Amino acid sequence: MTFFTHFQPRLLQSAQAKQAQDYVAPVLLALAMVVALAPMQASAGAGGTEFTQVYDQLTGWSNGTLGKVLGIAALLVGLGVGVIKQSVIAAVVGIAMALTAGFGPGVIDGVISTGMAITTPI
């Protein structure tokens, strides 16, 4: 019995090694795809003038009266659910939704527009 217990960890290690070898080919394929597609990501933010009208419409809604109404509604619903459930968590979710509706478009615009411009397309 001691002979088997002495070599049992080695048997498990060899089984784990065989199982790990099954994942080598898919991982290498995924890595090759990432390396091949990485240059395409550099030009993903360039252009897009056809979406400017949609972008302006959505940011106008979210920064305008509709965004304020949705933010206040989320706050009131969260506070109401918090009172009914006697829990602060629902009120916190309502406040988080109101803050996201109010500040979200500006944050997203700031994050997206801070990238460097690519002068030579790939």
Residue-wise pLDDT tens digits, 11-40: 556 666 667 667 777 877 888 887 777 665
Residue 80 has pLDDT above 60, yes or no: yes
Say if residue 116 is exposed, middle or buried (CB neighbours under 10 Å; 0-12, 13-18, 19+): exposed
Please report, to the nearest 10 degrees, the dihedral formed by the alpha carbons of residues 32, 37, 38, 40 taken in order. 170
Q: Which amino acid is at 63?
A: N
Residue 6 has pLDDT above 70, yes or no: no
Whether the CB-CB separation of 78 and 91 falls below 8 Å is answered with: yes
- Mean pLDDT, to the nearest integer, of 1-6? 53
